[in-house]
Structure 1
Amino acid sequence: MGGCGDCTRGTGRVGREERDAVARGVRLYEAAQAVVGDHARAVEAVRTALKPIHDAAVKRELDAISVTRLQDVTEGRLRLGSVEREGFGTVGRVLETSPYRLRQIPGVGQRTVDQMLAAARQISQAVRETVAVHIDVDRPEPRTTALVMALHVLVEAGPPAQRAVERAAALPERLGALLADARSATGRFRLLLAGREKKARALAAVAEIRSLVDEAERSGLPELLAQASVDLLRGAPSDVAAWVDFELRSADYYSLLTEISGRLPDTAASEGFLPEEIAERVRAQQLDDAHRRVSLRGYQAFGARFVLAQRKVILGDEMGLGKTIQAIAVLAHLAAEGQSHFMVVCPASVLVNWTREIEARSALRVMVLHGPDRHYAFADWKGRGGVAVTTFDALRGLPTPGGGEVGMLVVDEAHSVKNPKTKRSQAVAVWAERCERSLFMTGTPMENRVVEFRNLVQMLDGAVADSLGERDALVGSVAFRKAVAPVYLRRNQEVVLTELPSLQHTDEWEELTESDEAAYREAVREGNFMAMRRAAYMRPEDSAKLDRLREIVREAGETGQKTVVFSYFKDVLGVVEAALAVGPTAGIPMFGPLNGSVPAARRQHIVDAFAEVPGPAVLVAQIQAAGVGLNLQAASVVILCEPQIKPTIEHQAVARAHRMGQVRPVRVHRLLATGGVDERMVRMLEEKSRLFDAYARRSAVAEATPDAVDVSDIELARRIVEEEQARLGVTGEGDAASA
């Protein structure tokens, strides 16, 4: 009896331990089920909201397609003259009419009706699969508001929720089977009564459950699942907040919408028409998002995988497709794999942008190696790791790394090192040779300049460079594409951004030059708010903002895009005109300036002439004069020379280009200087611009009286002038009223 008692006591202990393990497994199982279910319901809510909008878009498209297109589908077999004469002029009209009514048309029999409807349905299906829904932020209505609010749930939940769903998806099936097998081990008597085989299976299942749950808890999975469920069940605080968030993160919304709707861009185009063997290798490449804080579009994820799979490459995506985000995705993946040191080399004009993007889009540490303290910063980076960001000129003075020390070298605006005779090119070449992975980024279509392109490729892969011949460099050459495929990926906006037209805002933060700083300090000392706002342009021979403006115009010109440049100040526009009239932008046609002294009729004549020019052109305009009333949809690039006091002014100016009739994505670049008046204005106006002002712009009264919803000009100017005088330690000689 004593032996049996010991056995019973041992079984009892085992039963308690197993019950605890199984209970933990059940909690993980239920949490995984909950996340998967919550995500499925959120996705279904988007599909439900999308359907009526998509159906309406399909109907509009079909109502615009002539009935004569049915002949194309049937290879001209249909005779449709009588059909058109009876008022059935579009494919949509045919589809919404009953077969009986169609048979009443003179000369139309059953066979013709059958052929006509079959062809119409074929066209309808093609339209249904390809038509993209465009969300109009300027004309919100109940259906689009419902869609935006449904999307908001998934966008707000973000990459962590997606990561939770992916990890949770396989758990229910795996845990469900184990929990069923382990049931016998959850009670003392169940375990005693179970047969030897069943008992062994139950104890093995419990052991596997314990191991699985222990691993999940070590990796923080229960907390990830719990947070994801909370986020997926949390709706938008209001429709206004959802619309504002959509404006701020429209790329994330459209990315989700494209994924959920299944209307993806052409696969070959989004993969840069790579040869299949390379594309397959890229698709198989894993992409870890543990250190990333941004969702990727399909083509962006492919681009990041391409960089990882091919190791040393040029990413030549057209400007505006998110090359920086793709680079950050690669850095985050390599960091997750254990790499600790990365180097980004870029022009000084985008140094601040890089640091801000890395901080905002990832959990990676970033260190700026620029200025007099760059060697101390370099030593700190070498000891602690992270992403170092430096300029081409500063790179020349940094110690070159040993093999394997740097996880990846990223070179932005890589066309800047196309000449191998320059010292900056030679410095980059040495770093590229020492790093196992290198990513060169350029939006300039280098494939049209084979010698320069070959020089870049030479730094990455000598064999590929040697294979490039002049005859292979013809635009669109299959031979050229195949030759450069191992190292080169380029995608164009119109084939990968299926929701065109889109609107992309970029704040271009620039560090003032010494000359800029001197002009700015003088304006602060005088207490002249308006002079402070335009100080960055008053010494054009050494202006950081002006240099970046020229770069944007040049890049837009190289891809055939038109640019409109807005400023509040006439003298700034004069400086811009003079700067663009020389150097790489000299050949681009210039129009304007549009300002308050130009009669309304003359303004429209200038706009029409600007629109009619084939290829690139630049229109310079005072924002008060051209920001309201004119349609500037010929422009797909908008530059704001400085932040405006009233957010409504910026919104209205951008709306001149981003409106009905725009056939290209609109990119808005707002030029901002760090540390001074621009930064203070952006910070002070941020909340109004995002929420209250967004609501006001949807009010007819506020639209008519924008002054009623903006911060007082005088009060804003006085506050900023006083704060800047205190920061710089200068005694005011004027008054903010000079604003």
Structure 2
Amino acid sequence: MGRREREAVARAARLYEAARSLADDHDRAVEAARAALQPIQDATVEQALDAIPVARLQDATGGRLRLGSVDKSGLHTVRQVLDAGPYRLRQVPGVGQRTADQIVAAARQLSAAVHETAAVHIDVDHPEPRTTALVQALHVLVEAGPEARRAVDTAAALSKRLGPLLADARPAAGRLSMLVAGQAKKARALEAVEEIRTLVAEAEQAGTPEALAQASVDLLRGTSADLAAWVDFELRSAEYYGLLAEISGRAPDPAAAEGFLPDGIAERVRDQQLDDSRLRVSLRGYQAFGARFALAQRRVILGDEMGLGKTVQAMAALTHLAAAGQSRFMVVCPASVLVNWTREIEARTSLHVTPLHGPDRHDAFAYWKGRGGVAVTTFDALRGFPVPGGGEIGMLVVDEAHAVKNPRTLRSQAVAQWAGHCERVLFMTGTPMENRVAEFRNLVRLLDETVAERIGDQAGVPGSVAFRRAVAPVYLRRNQVDVLAELPALQQTDEWEEPSAADEEAYREAVWSGNFMAMRRAAYARPEKSAKLVRLREIVHEAGENGLKVVVFSNFRDVLGVVRDALDTGPRTGGPVVGPLTGSVPPERRQGLVDAFTAVSGPAVLLAQIQAAGVGLNLQAASVVIICEPQIKPTVEQQAVARAHRMGQVRPVRVHRLLAPGGVDEQMVEMLRRKARLFDRYARRSAVAEATPDAVDVSDTEMARQIVAAEQSRLGCGSGPTGDADSSEGVDGRTSPA
């Protein structure tokens, strides 16, 4: 045994000790967070048990218990029963030893269920010592970042490999040890030294000793001041809650996190490796699964509900492919979110990003072709670029892919050409099917013709379970309620406002002219007497008094102008008014308006055209949403609300839909309910199999005509002119076919 071997063993011992030390440092940081969480978790469970009436214990015993006397004795809730215990229960008339034991056992069963499901919500507006301690403890782990997490994983793998090798190599530590060791031990010691030398050389070349040391330093910094921790929590709450889910052991149901995929596909996805070394953020479990799904299945639709982080899942897939040697990627998205995509890639990955937009886009395209990285362009701009050769693009990502559901449009044809030349394609949309199953099939056809044929016009006959099984090879969807237990409450209120005489007059004029769009915005045609405006100002005033930010959505630019005038002329308790953000605002300026709204300290109001701001932009700063009129598609409202009620939101979100009874609003609300049922049946998981698909959904144009005709009949206006019944205002503010 020479000096070279002893030095190799000594270096390995130091590396092993560094790995063990990092593991200990991480364990201490996690235990500190768990200790801070425990009293909050206990209080949450106690509060939940206090809200469960004692009668619910019947459910746990199949209705065998008689609990009337227990309730009359003053034990009204499950928590009170647990606090009382069997001795106190035996004092209740008619309750013997056996019954008391059964009651306590049932209460404990319910308590265990609550412990499994109760989620801790951190109230950012009302910090108190316990939640402050938890946020500070989590802050240590969040600040250490994904690099520390990767270092901890590396440390665990090193410890597992080096521990046995160092034990086997122990005789080689000295000449005497080698002399007294048997022949077999000597041979094994020399083999272990060689393995150690290779392992240590690889670790040193990868910079592992420095990474372990830096991670330990980051984890040992100690807690920050409470104010700094709270500010960081509000900015990065999604990362805090992700850690909280891991620490508390309350990860989402595995089947839900995997989108209830068939076992064979789910197993293949789990086996897919994911290299996140070029990603600068940590992934939640369901997000890592989504990235693996895109990689394993190659050509897919990621249909997660709004707010679950589809963008970061796409970036995780791109960074994995980049680490494996792929050099060029293309992202296609609406112009309104091009800036957001560019920022996200720059901030969350180490990939180079090139926006291909504006007059210099062809020069930028040539630069990207030579430089590599991620190109981000719009649907319209994509048509002007040459279609790539096979294998040239590592992955094509199409955001808001429902925009290409109509194969006759030029944008759909351009995407189809590119998709046909790319081995890996990722479509992203929370609304893959707005009106009918045929539109979803059109998207699937761009990815996999065989799967598309399986979901023909009669695919829904067996019910939604069969539909989901048919599309499972290309389609993954998870819903917020299944995987984001920490989301604050979403409260939706339909505000039915009795029209004023002026509102009625404007509405009757619109009906008489047969102008569907004028009917929809008639409630704002006489601003000085508008009942909806009165209520809107009340909501904004109340939000301002509570320091909350408000986003006001309308389909119509002129309605937003009326709202702005109304807010500007009234008391400014709602804070500054930002916008309006409309389709005519250049895409690069839209994110700037959102940033200005977010940066306001205190209350503020953002005015936004619903189709311009309801796609791609993040509005977590808003906790109050006002929708000025019903929308033609249910998904338009869902998307808009999801811009505020999404991962990262730390406050409850209240949604107010301003509606007028007896007219177009009421008819649209009923038609929207019928449309929403189709989406829920096929695009979401459903335990109820339907006998037949809802294949008779009317088009937007036909819906407008039906409503106009019905209202003309109700108000005795005769047939009247047809006006604009078959048109709607697009996000650019012009009137365009629906």
Q: Same fold (TM over 0.5)?
A: yes
Q: Which residue of 1 aligns with 2:193?
A: 206
Aligned to 2:574: 627
Matches of residues 289-304 of structure 1 in structure 2 within 5 Å? 289-304=276-291
CA distance in 1, matches of 2:362, 2:623: 47
User: Is 1:231 the counterpart of 2:202 in the alignment?
Assistant: no
Is the aligned partner of 1:456 residue 2:456? Answer: no
1:625 deviates by 4.8
Instruction: Find out whether 1:153 has 2:120 as its counterpart.
Output: no
**Is the counterpart of residue 137 in structure 1 residue 91 in structure 2?**
no
Structure 2 counterpart of 1:367, from 345, 354, 358: 354
| Distance change >3 Å, CA 155–CA 483, structure 1 → 2 | same
Of the three residues 377, 392, 413, the one matched with 1:405 is: 392
Pick closer, same or farther for the CA change 1:45–1:448 going to 2, 3 Å: farther
Measured after TM superposition, the shift of residue 88 of structure 1 is 0.5
C-alpha distance in 2, partners of 1:94/1:596? 58
Matched with 2:624 is 657
Q: 2:487 aligns with which of 483, 500, 511?
A: 500
**Within the alignment, does 1:44 sit opposite 2:41 as a pair?**
no
Partner of 1:78: 65
3-state SS of the aligned residue for 1:18? helix
When residues 310 and 367 of structure 1 are mapped into structure 2, their CA distance, relative to the original with a 3 A threshold, is same
Cα gap change, 1:377 to 1:475, in 2 (>3 Å) = farther
Q: Is the 8 A contact 1:502 1:666 kept in 2?
A: no
Q: CA deviation at 1:237?
A: 2.5
Q: How does 1:413-428 map onto structure 2 within 5 Å?
A: 413-428=400-415
Mean Cα deviation higher: 591-600 or 418-427: 591-600
Is contact 1:417–1:456 with CA below 8 Å preserved after alignment? yes
2:45 pairs with 1:58: yes
3-state DSSP of counterpart to 1:446: coil
The answer to whether structure 1 residue 336 and structure 2 residue 323 are counterparts is yes
Partner amino acid, structure 2, of 1:657:
V
**Post-superposition CA distance 1:256-285 (Å, at most 9, x none):** 111111112222222222111111111111
The alpha-carbon distance between structure 1 residues 194 and 71, as it changes in their structure 2 partners (threshold 3 A), is closer
Residue identity in the other structure for 1:269 = A
Q: What TM-score do the two structures reach when normalised by structure 2?
A: 0.71
Do the aligned partners of residues 585 and 190 (structure 1) sit closer, same or farther apart at CA in structure 2, a change above 3 Å counting? farther
Counterpart amino acid of residue 209 in structure 1 = I
Q: CA deviation at 1:655?
A: 7.1
- How far has the Cα of 1:496 moved from its partner? 1.3
Task: Identify the match of residue 647 of structure 1 among 575, 584, 601.
Answer: 601
Q: Cα gap change, 1:458/1:667 in structure 2, threshold over 3 Å: closer, same or farther? A: closer
Cα distance change of structure 1 residues 601 and 33 upon mapping to structure 2, 3 Å threshold:
same
Letter aligned with residue 219 of structure 2: L
**Within 2, Cα distance between the matches of 1:595 and 1:250?**
40
What amino acid is the match of 2:574? G
CA contact (8 A) 2:297 2:474 kept: yes
Answer yes or no: is the 8 Å Cα contact 2:621–2:644 preserved in 1.
no
Q: Secondary structure at the match of 2:116?
A: helix
Q: Encode CA deviations 1:564-602: one digit per residue, 9 max, x unaligned.
A: xxxxxxxxxxxxxxxxxx999999899889999999995
Q: Identify the match of residue 258 of structure 1 among 220, 245, 249.
A: 245
The equivalent residue for 2:698 is none
CA distance in 1, matches of 2:436, 2:137: 47
Name the amino acid aligned to 1:643.
F
Q: Which amino acid aligns with 1:494?
A: V
The answer on whether the counterparts of 1:592 and 1:606 sit within 8 Å (CA) in structure 2 is: no
Q: 2:6 aligns with which of 19, 23, 39?
A: 19
Aligned equivalents of 2:640, 2:167: Cα separation in 1: 54
Q: How does 1:390-401 map to 2 (within 5 A)?
A: 390-401=377-388
Letter in 1 for 2:347: A
Amino acid of the structure 2 residue aligned with 1:647 = S
Offset of residue 199 of structure 1: 2.4
Please give the secondary structure, in 2, of the residue aligned with 1:471: coil
8 Å contact kept, 2:597–2:605: no
Paired with 1:391 and 1:426, the residues of 2 have a C-alpha distance of 14
In structure 2, distance between residues paired with 1:82 and 1:202: 75
Secondary structure of the structure 2 residue equivalent to 1:68? helix
1:603-638 C-alpha deviation (Å, 9 max, x unpaired) = 489659x99xxxx9869674975638xxxxxxxxx9
Contact 1:594 1:603 in 2 (8 A): no
CA distance in 2 between counterparts of 1:583 and 1:233 reads 67
Take 1:501 and 1:82, find their aligned partners in 2: how far apart are those partners?
Answer: 38
Give the Cα separation in 1 of the matches to 2:62 and 2:163. 56
TM-score (norm 1): 0.71
SS in 1 for 2:54: coil
State which of 291, 295, 307 in structure 2 corresponds to 1:308: 295
CA 1:159/1:108 → structure 2, altered by over 3 Å: closer, same or farther? same
Whether 2:393 is the aligned partner of 1:439: answer no
CA–CA distance in 2 between the matches of 1:174 and 1:587? 73
Task: Deviation per CA, 1:89-112: give whole Å up to 9, x if none.
Answer: 111100000321111111111111
- Per-residue deviation, 1:320: 1.3
Provide closer, same or farther for how the CA distance between residues 502 and 107 of structure 1 changes in structure 2, counting only shifts above 3 A.
Answer: closer
> Measured at CA, do residues 281 and 502 of structure 1 come closer, stay the same or move farther in structure 2, by a change above 3 Å?
farther
Counterpart secondary structure, 1:397: coil
Contact 1:54 1:133 in 2 (8 A): yes
Give, in whole Å, the separation in 1 of the partners of 2:191 and 2:623: 68
Q: Is the contact made by 1:313 and 1:487 (CA closer than 8 Å) also made in structure 2?
A: yes
Please report the RMSD computed on the Cα atoms of aligned residues, expressed in angstroms: 3.7
Mapped to 2, the partners of 1:171 and 1:121 lie a distance apart of: 43
Does the C-alpha gap of structure 1 residues 625 and 103 become closer, same or farther in structure 2, counting only changes over 3 Å?
farther
- Offset of residue 325 of structure 1: 0.8
With over 3 angstroms needed to count, the CA separation of the structure-2 counterparts of 1:311 and 1:601, relative to structure 1, is closer
Q: Is 2:623–2:644's contact at 8 Å kept on the other side of the alignment?
A: no
Which structure has more helix as a fraction of its residues?
1
Q: Which runs of 5+ in 2 are unaligned?
A: 496-513, 544-551, 555-559, 576-590, 607-619, 626-638, 646-738
CA distance in 2, matches of 1:291, 1:656: 33
| Alignment-derived partner of residue 342 in structure 2 | 355
Per-residue deviation, residues 172-200 of structure 1 (Å, max 9, x unmatched): 23212222222222223433444433322
Among all aligned residue pairs of Structure 1 and Structure 2, give the percentage whose two residues are the same amino acid: 66
